[in-house]
Amino acid sequence: MTLGLVYHMPFWRDRDGRLREIEGSFARYVDSLAPYFDEIVLCVPVLTETSGDGTLIRARNVRLAPLRYFDGPAHFYPRLPAMVRGIVAFVRAVDVLHCRVPTPAAVFAVACARLFGRPVFLLVVGDLRALLPSMPYRGLKRLLWRSYTWFEERGIQWMVNRSLTFANGAALASKHSRAGRPVVQTQTTTIDAESIAQRIDTMTGDAVRLFAVSRIDPRKGLRVLPGVVAALAERGVAATVDIVGPVVGAPGDAERAAIVAAAAARGVSDRVRLLGAVPLERLLPLYADYDAFVLPTLPGEGVPRVLLEAMAAGLPIVTTPVAGIPSLVTHERNGLIVDEPSADAVASAIVRLVRDGALRRRLIQHGYESARAHTLQAQAGQMMDAVSRRLGLTLRQPVVSVA
C-alpha cells in the first residue's frame, strides 16, 4: 500500500542523500505514519540548497514526488501550470491520498484522486478565515488575501464533504462537520512516549525563565511579551523571555521589529531574546531550561503542538482560549487560560504560578497526563484505525518492540 502525502513544508536531501524537513513537526508526523504503509510518497516543495540542520526523516520507506519550491500561495499559483503534470503523475502512482490542509496543492490533488478513483483522507490543521482580523494587510493586499481565503476555504470544505477528514481540535472539527459526515477530532503532536520528562517543579531560581515557541507573525500575539516581562518586574518578579521561531514573510519581519521596539520602549531589551528558528531535534531539549511556557496566540489555530511539547517537558503553560486550545487545555488543571492576550493578563497568570507552588506542581503533573495521551504513536494509531475501517484499506501493523 502506497500513501501519497501532500503538504507545503519544504524538504531537501542532505549530503548523505537523506531527506530533511525544514521545521520538524511534519517530519515526525511522516515518520509516525510510515509503519502503516509499504511506501510514502511526499508531494512537497523541495529546496535546491540546504537550509540549516532541519529534521531528518528516519523512516526508510519515504521518497519524494517533488514540487517546484514555493513560499506561500502568492508563489504557488504562478508556478501551478508547471506543476500540474507532476501532481497528476503523483496521484496516479499512489494507492491512497492524504492531504494536510490548508495547503494550496491539496484541492488539485484531491480532484485528481477522485478522477482516478483513489481514496482520500484529510487532516485540517488551521483556520484561514479566523486569521483574517489579525492579518496586517491593507488596501489591495487585504482584498487579495480575503479573496484567496474565500477560495481556499471553499476548496477545503469541498474536499471535506467528499473525504474522510480529521481535524486538529474540537473547533476545527465542529466547523467542518456536516450532517451525515462528521469530522474526526485529533491532536497533532511531536512527542514520543519516551520523551516525557519527570521533573515535578520549576521556578526554583532567582528569575523566572519564560519560553515561547511560535512562528513570528502578527497572528501569534507575541508582541505582548516584552510588556509581560515589564509588568512582572513592577510586581517584584524578575523574569526573562526567550522566543524561538522563524520569521514568516514581510508581516513577520514587521512583527519582529515591533517586538524589539516594544522591549526597548519598556526598558527590557536585555531580558527579551528572539532566538530564531531552531530545528525540532535541538528544540525539544531546550524546554527543560525554562520555568513556564507562554503562548498568547490569536484566533486561527488548530491546537498548537508546542503546548504538548511544553507539557511533556514539565512546564506549566499560560495560553489563550482560541480555536481548539480549550479542547486540550483545561484552566487550572493542565494550564492557565487567560481571557485576553494582554501583558497584564499574562503577567497575572505568571504571578499565580510563582506564588502558588501547589497549583504549579498540579499543572505539571496533569500536563504529563495530557502528553501521554497525545503521543505520536497514539495519534497515528487512532487515525490509521479509522482510515482502515472507514476506507476499507488493509494497512500494515507496526512492530511493537518488547523490552
CATH topology of domain 2-188+376-391: Rossmann fold (3.40.50)
pTM for this predicted structure: 0.84
pLDDT tens figures, 36-57: 999 999 999 999 877 667 889 9
- Percent of the chain whose predicted confidence (pLDDT) is above 70: 97
Q: Are 31 and 59 in contact (CB under 8 A)?
A: yes
Q: Do domains 2-188+376-391 and 193-373 have the same CATH topology?
A: yes
pLDDT tens figures, 307-363: 999 999 999 999 999 878 898 999 999 999 999 999 999 999 999 999 999 999 999
Residue 402 has pLDDT above 50, yes or no: no
Q: What is the DSSP string of 209-255?
A: EEEEE--BSGGG-GGGHHHHHHHHHHTT--EEEEEE--B-HHHHHHH
Helix and strand numbers, DSSP H then E, in the chain: 13, 16
CATH topology of domain 193-373: Rossmann fold (3.40.50)
pLDDT tens figures, 111-132: 999 999 999 999 999 888 877 7
Report d(CA 226, CA 149) in Å as an integer: 31
Query: How open is the CA angle 232-285-327, to the nearest 5 degrees?
Result: 65
pLDDT reported for residue 403? 42
What is the residue-averaged pLDDT of the chain?
92
pLDDT reported for residue 355? 96
> What residues does each domain of the chain span?
2-188+376-391, 193-373
Report d(CA 276, CA 221) in Å as an integer: 16
pLDDT reported for residue 352? 97
Highest mean pLDDT among 139-148, 186-195, 200-209, 294-303: 200-209
Task: Say which amino acid occupies 373.
Answer: A
Strand-pair partners of 121: 98, 164
Residue 278 has pLDDT above 80, yes or no: yes
